[in-house]
Each structure stands twice: as structure tokens, then as C-alpha cells.
């Protein structure tokens, strides 16, 4: 099966700047959510309880997301993933 080539995409400086700003906002939101999860987990309780308290699906708190490993690496001096 042959791969289709993507159409050429040209962005104006203004649109590119908007996209970069949107990406930075997303990054900040992800880091803020990770911080809320870490802080709530540090208070104790099971993943299910933390998820309910934060209004998240349990998979966002533990399990598949693996935030704890990334955060633990960061806390020990390693860079964010």
C-alpha cells in the first residue's frame, strides 16, 4: 500500500505564531493537570478516589498515563519527558 503524500501547507507568520502560542498553552495545561494529580496523590488515597476528587477518568490518574514515572524522574533531577 503506497503512502499518500500530504498536500503542501504554508502558514503566514501570524498563523504560525498563533499555533505556537496554542501549543504552549496546551503544555502549560498538561503540566498544571500533572501537578494537581501529584499534589492530590500526595494527600493519600487510591487512584479511583483521586480521579473522583479531580473529576478525571481513573486512567488519567494512574495506569496508562504513567505520569508518576515521568514526575518521579523530574523530581529526581531528570528532564521532563
Band of the pLDDT at 64, cuts 50, 70, 90? very low
Using CA atoms of 27, 31, 32, 37 in order, give the dihedral in degrees to the nearest 10.
140
**Longest Cα pair distance anywhere in the chain, in angstroms?**
52
* CA–CA separation, 38 and 56 (whole Å): 13
Residue that wins the pLDDT comparison between 69 and 36 = 36
Confidence band, pLDDT 50/70/90 cuts, at residue 39 = confident
Q: Is the pLDDT of residue 68 over 70?
A: no
Q: Could you tell me if 81 and 73 are in contact, meaning their C-beta atoms sit under 8 angstroms apart?
A: yes
Those residues whose C-beta lies under 8 Å from the C-beta of residue 63, and which sit 6 or more positions away, are: 47
What is the overall mean pLDDT for the chain?
A: 79
Specify the pLDDT at position 28: 87
Amino acid at each position: 500500500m503506497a503512502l499518500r503524500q500530504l498536500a503542501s501547507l504554508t502558514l503566514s507568520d501570524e498563523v504560525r505564531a498563533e499555533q505556537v502560542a496554542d501549543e504552549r498553552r496546551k503544555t502549560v495545561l498538561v503540566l498544571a493537570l500533572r501537578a494537581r494529580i501529584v499534589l492530590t496523590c500526595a494527600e493519600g488515597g487510591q487512584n479511583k478516589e483521586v480521579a473522583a476528587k479531580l473529576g478525571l477518568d481513573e486512567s488519567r490518574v494512574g495506569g496508562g498515563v504513567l505520569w508518576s514515572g515521568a514526575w518521579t524522574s523530574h523530581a529526581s533531577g531528570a528532564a521532563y519527558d
